[in-house]
Structure 1
Amino acid sequence: MKEVLLCTVALIAQTASVSAADLVAEALPMVTRIDDWSGFYTGINGGFASAHQCWNVVNVGGLGCHSATGGTACGQIGYPRQIANSVFGLEAQGNWADFKGSNADLAFAGVQDESRIDEFGLFTGQVGYAWNIVLVCMKGGAAGVSDKYRVFDLATGLTIDKGSETRWGSAVGASLEFGFAPNWSVGIEYDHAFMGRRDVDFFFQPHW
């Protein structure tokens, strides 16, 4: 079974714990606000994602592919350090998810293959560049996903087989962030997780 998780556009709002020296005003005719992005922060996020799933059975072959799509929301915590205009940091993100999709089984008539993802997490390192209140970052690291699989009869909805697992892979992403108030920022982020190919044991489940 192969899965590539695409966590697309996510809106982020976060607040940072910074010192008083983090905000500096230049002595210019028009005061310019300069932000230091260093310090611990917590935040919330929400967005949309899609996971591409392809099913195979040993000695049977390919059963088809589908995309499991849906919404996601939760939070993150991290610590960046700014040196001149460069920003380096670590971030941990845990998300509730509601990604679901299915396809007609190519080997067995009247059977549907369904997958669901109900949570995922990212632990990444970050490298960025800051222009005053604007921060652009690239990120990369590890990803974990909670997967559930179900094979069911399309006419009756009766579950035939099911399986589940927690999968681990890698992730990359990019973000654009704006500081709109002291210690507050909002941004947009795109993440792409590579979950590879795995074998999953299914269990016969002859009921709803």
Structure 2
Amino acid sequence: MKKALSVAALMVALTGSALAADLPSYKAPPPPPLPPPPLWSGFYVGLNAGGTWGGSNNIWTSSAPISSIPGSAAALRYARFSALGASGVSQGNTSGFIGGGQIGYNWQFWGGRLVAGVEADIQGVASGNSNKTSVTAAGAFPFFGASEVLTTAITTSKRLDYVGTVRGRLGWLFTPTLLVYGTGGLAYGGVSVSTGITQFNNDCAQFPGNCISGAAFSSGAFSDTRVGWTAGGGLEWMFMPNWSAKVEYLYYDLGNVSYSAGLLATVGATFLPNTLVSGVVSQSQTRFNGNIVRAGVNYHFNWGAAPIVAKY
């Protein structure tokens, strides 16, 4: 009897275990995975290289007569032709290879699709010799019985020594690692420009014993740091954790520059020795603006990235 009861109890126990195995499980599901970290948020530093070319290479020089022998129509005519020859448009060059570095901070927001930030950079400009010379001739015109010809050479130089920007950036992530952005803000640069005027006449060749000086010279220059604005856009690709590469275009404008090109004074030689026959004052003007195309690489520290908090 006892043996029969033991066998029955064992069968009931085995049957209950089998039924329990078929029942559905009521364990809680596993938590969702953590969202990906904000790849773009935080500080970064990098290097860049590329090229720049000027938007306005012209240097305008204008001249006006300010003095001549009082009451002398011939001297006044000479001064007017001298001013005409000392006026014109010449060329300068602000193009060249650029290279430098940048530092910035990004903030990734709006579900991780937008990236805003600020960036500062500075680049040196390596350019060739920018001296340009233009030669003009005025005349022949009557001057105290002579048939006068004036030949003028205007030599100009224009350079951009360095350029930098401080800009805001706003971009859209087409993929988690590809950023398309626009940018704009302040631009600054070290500029230099100069003008030299040399003028020759044939007076002594015609009247060697009674002539004015055969040459006159004047010059002027400007060199300073200019501040203006810049705008552009680019693409940036996060190709490795903490590393990105970018290509970028910027337009910059540092404004107009005006400076004196000096006094072009023609004095008497054997004719009225040391007397001012013709005085011409000259002024030059140019604009510093241009284009930048460059590529760069950045290292992202993610120091300023906001912590991720998972919600369930």
CA contact under 8 A between 1:161 and 1:202: conserved in structure 2? yes
Which amino acid is 2:125 matched to?
A: A
Structure-2 separation of matches of 1:54 and 1:67? 9
Counterpart pick for 1:125 among 152, 165, 168: 168
Instruction: Give secondary structure in 2 for the equivalent of 1:68.
Output: coil
Q: Report the structure number with the largest CA radius of gyration.
A: 2
- Flag structure 1 segments of 5+ consecutive residues without an equivalent: 1-22, 25-33
Q: Which residue matches 1:4?
A: none
The number of aligned residues is 169
Structure-1 separation of matches of 2:258 and 2:119? 30
Instruction: Give secondary structure in 2 for the equivalent of 1:169.
Output: strand
Q: Give 1:118 deviation, angstroms.
A: 1.3
Q: Percent identity?
A: 27
- Flag structure 2 segments of 5+ consecutive residues without an equivalent: 1-34, 65-86, 137-150, 199-217, 264-312
Which amino acid is 2:105 matched to?
A: Y
Q: Which residue matches 1:15?
A: none
Q: Which residue matches 1:81?
A: 107
Q: Which residue matches 1:6?
A: none
TM-score by structure 1 length? 0.70
2:100 maps to 1:69: no
Instruction: Give secondary structure in 1 for the equivalent of 2:40.
Output: coil
Q: Give 1:168 deviation, angstroms.
A: 1.0
Q: Which residue matches 2:133?
A: 104
Q: Aligned in 2, Cα 1:160/1:197: closer, same or farther, shift over 3 Å? A: closer
2:80 maps to 1:54: no
Structure-1 separation of matches of 2:58 and 2:182? 29
2:158 maps to 1:115: yes
TM-score by structure 2 length? 0.48
Q: Which residue matches 2:123?
A: 95
Q: Give 1:98 deviation, angstroms.
A: 1.9
Instruction: Give secondary structure in 2 for the equivalent of 1:92.
Output: strand
Q: Aligned in 2, Cα 1:79/1:132: closer, same or farther, shift over 3 Å? A: same
Considering fraction of residues, name the structure with more strand: 1
Structure-2 separation of matches of 1:115 and 1:63? 13
CA contact under 8 A between 2:191 and 2:224: conserved in structure 1? yes
Which amino acid is 1:194 matched to?
A: D
CA contact under 8 A between 1:62 and 1:106: conserved in structure 2? no
Which amino acid is 2:161 matched to?
A: D
